[in-house]
């Protein structure tokens, strides 16, 4: 759908020597890091620092602009060039904004006039295409909304713009967020930057791939059952799913309203946390948004030179036993257990914890999500919403508009949900699934009363080949087993890369999932940030751009 991109140079330009990407081989003790430079601090301090943290693109961008080292136009041109060169191979975007450079020039003029800059000034943000944008199409990856441009911005998008962020474009997704590979998009299949023959995960695969390939600095996705966290694991980036209610859902096209949240992608924990802070807060346009005060998440980013030898001493970590059972790849299990050992080196007390109801989450999730989707998607009938198919009478118009507008995966879930809500089966399926949801919520509460954070793999495997599971829906659904329980419980979770497994030209990244108590994103960010800074011999830059990104 992108007609403005220039033809790429030879793909060989992007292939790198696999030795440039260091494998997950060893972890240096924290004592050996005492001489390392400062990498993170709070936003106000770092914006004035002569050495902004290299791991945070947001803070580095702000420092570059304030110091006049680079202009916003130069930064925008750099990212747009990389986008044009990589996009034909990745297909991350469904639409690229034609006003990026104009917005960057306006920002440069503000800087020349010494006007105050917002905390996201000059930051290039990509938006998943099921989040409404007033000046760009929002299709949810579906033909039923092809060409639709909303008359308003989603609250999260509006906040990003108000804080100076520049929206690069709209990213590809599984249609209406229903899928785990981004192959269910009605428009194109997105590839994984680590290996273009593999999927980036889903449904927010476009947003994850765009951040991984540095086509943008950060991005927004949506997470109904793991759609931010699983792609983050597959693409080697940080993915943050906030507590249900932390971020307004106004402007997010509904799939399953009791499960949907807007989440954040970044190449670092700091970037994900800063972006979350920017979009969080109560919204009168969303009755489910929380009125709880939003803390300053950047306060959790402790500078390396201030860390003690055991910076996480006394923290209780629970490794969920059921997430390491049969069905999880050996390499994934090994990477997660090695990450748990590193947390112990940092002072954590790591013990295995059992959640007996964990396996019940997957069937309960698909009953509840499909039931809610059958209701939410009824509005796309060609009359109220969606493209209309000409017909002689109303019922035919409804049927033809939906039959031609929806893809096979969406139809499958609508039919499943309608069946579960029908009079003869409501008690057996939907009501029982709600009861299971309550059990899962209590199980998590009990575990988090005894532990500060729970950890698990983000997915049973690393990224798999394009087409490998497309024709086996049940196998694809099983890949969500690590993430769906968190949505059923409404809890926050963060995924960050913790190692590699064999595969592709330079290995495939593995993500570690950290789960916290409701509205305790700050603790997740603190632990993840320290873990990220002390993790050695890992460079999470995909081979597609490794030659270009130092």
Q: Name the residue ranges covered by the structural domains of the chain.
A: 57-311+464-545
pTM given for the model: 0.90
Q: Is the pLDDT of residue 73 over 90?
A: yes
- The pLDDT, as a whole number, for residue 299 is 85
- The pLDDT, as a whole number, for residue 261 is 98
pLDDT tens-digit map of 457-473: 999 999 999 999 988 88
> What string of DSSP letters covers 171-228?
E--SGGG--SSSTT-SS----BTTBTTB---SSSHHHHHHHHTTSSSEEEEEESSSTT
Compare 303 and 401 and report the one with higher pLDDT.
401
Portion of the chain with pLDDT greater than 70, in percent: 90
- The pLDDT, as a whole number, for residue 550 is 59
227 carries an active-site annotation: yes
- The pLDDT, as a whole number, for residue 174 is 98
Q: Please, is 547 exposed, middle or buried when counting C-beta atoms within 10 Å of its C-beta (0-12, 13-18, 19+)?
A: middle
Q: In 3D, which of 211, 51, 281 has the Cα closest to residue 549? A: 211
- The pLDDT, as a whole number, for residue 382 is 86
Q: Is the pLDDT of residue 40 over 50?
A: no
161 carries an active-site annotation: no
Q: How far is CA 543 from the centre of its chain?
A: 21
Task: Compute the mean pLDDT over every residue in the chain, rounded to the nearest whole number.
Answer: 89
Q: Is the pLDDT of residue 269 over 90?
A: yes
Q: What average pLDDT does range 24-52 have in this prediction? A: 35
Q: What average pLDDT does range 479-490 have in this prediction? A: 97
Q: Among 160-164, 289-293, 460-464, 476-480, which is the least confidently predicted range?
A: 476-480
Q: 435-473 as b/e, with b when 16 or more CB fall inside 10 Å?
A: ebbeebbebbeebbeebbbbbbbbbbbbbbebebbbeeb
- The pLDDT, as a whole number, for residue 37 is 33
Q: In 3D, which of 234, 328, 246, 257 has the Cα closest to residue 281? A: 246
Q: Among 1-15, 152-166, 428-442, which is the least confidently predicted range?
A: 1-15
- The pLDDT, as a whole number, for residue 172 is 98
Per-residue tokens: 468: 């490998």
Out of 92, 203, 370, 461, the active site residue is 203
Q: What average pLDDT does range 432-446 have in this prediction? A: 98
- At 223, is the pLDDT very low, low, confident or very high (cuts 50, 70, 90)? very high
Out of 16, 128, 298, 374, the active site residue is 128
- The pLDDT, as a whole number, for residue 24 is 31
- The pLDDT, as a whole number, for residue 305 is 74
Give the count of beta carbons closer than 10 Å to the beta carbon of residue 137: 17
Q: What average pLDDT does range 234-247 have in this prediction? A: 98
3-state secondary structure of 340: helix
248 carries an active-site annotation: no
Q: Is the pLDDT of residue 42 over 60?
A: no
Angle 269-279/521-534 helices, nearest 10 degrees? 160
pLDDT tens-digit map of 328-384: 999 999 999 999 999 999 999 999 999 999 999 999 999 999 999 999 999 998 888
Out of 56, 204, 227, 298, the active site residue is 227
- The pLDDT, as a whole number, for residue 15 is 35
Kindly state which CATH superfamily the domain 57-311+464-545 is placed in: Amidase signature (AS) domain (3.90.1300.10)
What kind and span of H or E run contains 169?
strand 166-171
Looking at residue 372, what DSSP letter applies? Answer: H
């Amino acid at each position: 759908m992108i007609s403005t991109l220039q033809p790429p140079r030879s793909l060989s330009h992007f292939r790198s020597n696999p030795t440039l990407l260091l494998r997950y081989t060893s972890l240096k003790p924290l004592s050996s890091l005492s001489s390392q430079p400062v990498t993170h601090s709070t936003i106000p301090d770092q914006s004035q620092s002569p050495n902004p943290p290299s791991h945070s693109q947001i803070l580095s961008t702000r420092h570059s602009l304030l110091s006049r080292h680079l202009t916003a136009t130069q930064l925008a041109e750099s990212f747009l060039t990389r986008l044009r060169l990589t996009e034909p191979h990745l297909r991350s975007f469904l639409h690229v904004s034609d006003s990026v450079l104009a917005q960057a020039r306006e920002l440069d003029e503000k800087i020349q006039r010494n006007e105050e800059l917002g905390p996201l000034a000059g930051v290039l943000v990509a938006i998943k295409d099921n989040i409404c944008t007033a000046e760009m199409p929002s299709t949810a990856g579906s033909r039923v909304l092809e060409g639709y441009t909303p008359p308003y911005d989603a609250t999260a998008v509006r906040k990003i713009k108000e804080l100076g962020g520049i929206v690069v474009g709209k990213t590809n997704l599984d249609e209406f967020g229903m899928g785990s590979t981004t192959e269910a998009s009605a428009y194109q299949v997105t590839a994984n930057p680590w290996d273009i023959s593999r999927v980036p995960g889903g449904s927010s695969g476009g947003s994850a791939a765009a951040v991984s390939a540095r086509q943008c600095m950060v991005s927004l996705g949506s997470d109904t059952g793991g759609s931010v966290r699983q792609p983050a694991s597959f693409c080697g980036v940080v993915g943050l799913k906030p507590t249900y209610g932390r971020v307004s859902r106004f402007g997010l096209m509904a799939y399953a309203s009791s499960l949907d949240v807007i989440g954040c992608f970044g190449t670092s924990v700091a970037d994900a946390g800063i972006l979350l802070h920017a979009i969080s807060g109560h919204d009168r346009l969303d009755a489910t948004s929380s009125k709880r005060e939003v803390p300053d998440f950047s306060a959790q980013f402790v500078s390396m030179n201030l860390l003690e030898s055991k910076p996480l001493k006394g923290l209780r970590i629970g490794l969920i036993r059921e997430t390491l059972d049969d069905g999880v790849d050996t390499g994934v299990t090994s990477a997660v257990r090695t990450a748990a050992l590193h947390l112990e080196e940092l002072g954590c007390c790591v013990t295995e914890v059992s959640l007996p109801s964990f396996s019940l989450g997957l069937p309960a999730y698909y009953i509840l999500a499909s039931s809610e989707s059958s209701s939410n998607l009824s509005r796309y009938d060609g009359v109220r919403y969606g493209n209309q198919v000409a017909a002689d009478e109303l019922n035919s118009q409804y049927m033809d508009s939906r039959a031609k507008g929806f893809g096979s995966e969406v139809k499958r879930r609508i039919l499943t949900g309608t069946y579960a809500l029908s009079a003869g089966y409501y008690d057996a399926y939907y009501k029982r699934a709600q009861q299971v949801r309550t059990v899962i919520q209590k199980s998590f509460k009990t575990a988090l009363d005894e532990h500060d954070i729970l950890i698990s793999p983000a997915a049973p495997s690393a990224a798999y080949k394009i087409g490998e599971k497309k024709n086996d829906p049940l196998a694809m659904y099983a890949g969500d087993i690590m993430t769906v329980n968190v949505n059923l419980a409404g809890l926050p979770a963060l995924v960050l890369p913790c190692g590699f497994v064999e595969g592709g030209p330079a290995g495939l990244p593995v993500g570690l999932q950290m789960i916290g108590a409701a509205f305790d994103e700050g603790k997740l960010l603190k632990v993840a940030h320290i873990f990220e800074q002390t993790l050695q011999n890992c460079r999470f830059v995909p081979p597609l751009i490794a030659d270009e990104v130092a």
